[in-house]
Amino acid sequence: MLVGVSMLLLSAGALAELFDSVGTGVEFAAGLTAAALALIGVFSLLYGAAHAWASVLLRRRTAFGRVLMLALALVDLIVLPFGTGLGVYALWALLTNEGRRLFEVHGSGGSEGSGGFGSQLN
């Protein structure tokens, strides 16, 4: 989410340059830069919000939260260098047998797991 806010601030700077440089021939470049940075910023904010939402769902141990985080972890693998490490860790944590057990439904007790790997989350 920090990247999204940073890109939106850079976009605002490019937009200010666009309005300040009327008649100098850089309007197209400033407009294109402002639009590209704004698009990247909005995408980054949405991507960060999806991670935050998935983390809330994981904390509640919902099956959908696990699936959503697995999908986000796969995409994170291409974000070098930190996304790769975090994506590998998320895949490892959610695909191990202990990670799977955290999201199994247990009778009337809901989807709570017991001990083991899940004790690190509490």
Q: What is the dihedral of CA 49, 55, 60, 63, to 10 degrees?
A: 90
Mean pLDDT of 97-106: 82
Residue with tokens 């899940």: 118
Report the pLDDT value the prediction gives residue 99, as an integer from 0 to 100: 85
Joined tokens for residue 57: 């769902």
Please answer whether residues 33 and 14 qualify as being in contact, where contact means their C-beta atoms are separated by less than 8 angstroms. yes
Q: What tens digit of pLDDT does each residue of 42-75 get?
A: 999 999 999 999 999 999 999 899 999 999 999 9
Q: Using CA atoms, how far apart are residues 106 and 88, in angstroms rounded to an integer? A: 28
Q: What tens digit of pLDDT does each residue of 51-60 get?
A: 999 999 999 9
Mean pLDDT of 10-38: 85
What is the pTM for the complete model shown? Answer: 0.74
Query: Which of 38, 37, 17, 39 is closest to 28 using CA atoms?
Result: 17
Contacting residues for 26 by C-beta, under 8 A, at least 6 apart: 17
Q: Using CA atoms, how far apart are residues 93 and 6, in angstroms rounded to an integer? A: 30
Helices (H), 1-115: 2-20, 27-59, 63-76, 82-95, 97-101
Q: Using CA atoms, how far apart are residues 71 and 68, in angstroms rounded to an integer? A: 5
Per-domain residue ranges for the chain? 1-53, 60-122
